[in-house]
């Protein structure tokens, strides 16, 4: 009897060990453990950069809903979209029966994030603080969808392209820059925003890099008293009263922490 019991216990142990090994575990950008019993097959993405990351690892066919946005590549325009502005359409999300949701920790509504955490649906929170985080996330998503090698390949390709994007400016004199997020009231980036790395690649220095914030509103007086050589904006047709100031209009891709940021960096460097 004892021998039979021992065999049953051993069998249960082996079964549980096998299940544990089959599970997929990664840490998201907030350090939360995300566990899946098997590779994700039905994914909802609540941020454009997350959608583009899945495209980069060739997992776009697993997306059942994607955050609506205006400039997705043609390969993604057939994917059904879900609005995140003014609150998440929770019923539509639940009806899609996702086995993984990828959300933007600071870009989606806090109430929606709390609801998702309590829903029981596996949730990966993306919150890139550095450009290298983008490569790390590509690898993690590769694991979650069951194609870790594709994740690694996409991460290496992204890192290589990013370093090459502004190679022609590696010896260029460094210039000071003001990054305009919004013209009125003036909004810009401080030293805690990952866009500072983009500026450094282009041999530009953020004049407000010493401000310990990611994004903030700058007073008109402070802006007038802070000299800079380059104005970077996303608003076409922007003018400046000082003709010596270079005005660079960037494409939306440069403001999204995903693989297409390389396109934005290349365009930025071409204009300098």
Residue 8: what pLDDT? 54
Residue 69: what pLDDT? 73
What average pLDDT does the segment 147-155 reach? Answer: 97
168-271 belongs to CATH 3.20.20.80: no
In this predicted model, what pLDDT tens digit does every residue of 224-254 receive, in sequence order? 999 999 999 988 889 898 999 999 998 878 8
CB within 8 Å of 55: residues ≥ 6 apart? 73, 75, 76, 259
The two domains 24-164 and 168-271 share their CATH topology (first three levels equal): yes
Answer for the pair 194, 131: CB distance below 8 angstroms, yes or no.
Answer: yes
CATH number at 24-164: 3.40.50.1980
Residue 7: what pLDDT? 58
How far is Cα 74 from Cα 166, in angstroms, rounded to an integer? 26
Q: Please check the confidence at residue 198 and state whether its pLDDT lies above 80.
A: yes
Q: Please check the confidence at residue 93 and state whether its pLDDT lies above 90.
A: yes
Burial class (CB in 10 A: 0-12, 13-18, 19+), 9: exposed
Q: Please check the confidence at residue 192 and state whether its pLDDT lies above 90.
A: yes
Domain range list for the chain? 24-164, 168-271
The runs of H, that is alpha helices, within 120-252 are: 131-144, 148-165, 195-201, 220-224
Q: Please check the confidence at residue 35 and state whether its pLDDT lies above 70.
A: yes
Identify which of 43, 54, 250, 261 has the alpha carbon closest to the alpha carbon of residue 159: 261
């Amino acid at each position: 009897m004892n021998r039979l019991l021992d065999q049953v216990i051993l069998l249960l142990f082996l079964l549980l060990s096998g299940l544990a090994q089959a599970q997929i575990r990664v840490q998201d950008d907030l350090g939360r453990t995300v566990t899946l019993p098997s590779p994700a097959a039905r994914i909802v993405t609540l941020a454009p950069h997350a959608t583009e990351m899945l495209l980069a690892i060739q997992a776009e066919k697993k997306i059942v809903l994607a955050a609506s946005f205006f400039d997705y590549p043609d390969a993604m325009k057939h994917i059904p979209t879900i609005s995140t502005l003014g609150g998440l359409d929770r019923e539509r999300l639940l009806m899609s029966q996702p086995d993984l949701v990828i959300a933007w920790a600071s870009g989606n509504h806090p109430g929606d994030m709390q609801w998702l955490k309590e829903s029981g649906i596996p949730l990966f929170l993306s919150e890139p603080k550095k450009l290298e985080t983008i490569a790390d996330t590509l690898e993690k998503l590769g694991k979650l969808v069951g194609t870790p090698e594709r994740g690694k390949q996409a991460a290496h390709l992204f890192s290589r392209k990013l370093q090459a994007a502004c190679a022609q400016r590696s010896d260029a004199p460094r210039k000071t820059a003001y990054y305009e997020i919004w013209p009125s009231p003036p909004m810009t980036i401080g030293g805690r925003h990952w866009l500072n790395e983009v500026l450094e690649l282009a041999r530009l220095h953020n004049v407000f890099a010493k401000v310990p914030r990611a994004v903030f509103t700058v007073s008109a007086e402070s802006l007038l008293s802070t000299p800079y050589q380059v104005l970077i904006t996303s608003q076409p047709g922007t003018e400046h009263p000082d003709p010596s100031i270079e005005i660079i209009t960037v494409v939306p891709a440069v403001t999204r922490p995903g693989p297409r940021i390389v396109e934005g960096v290349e365009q930025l460097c071409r204009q300098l």
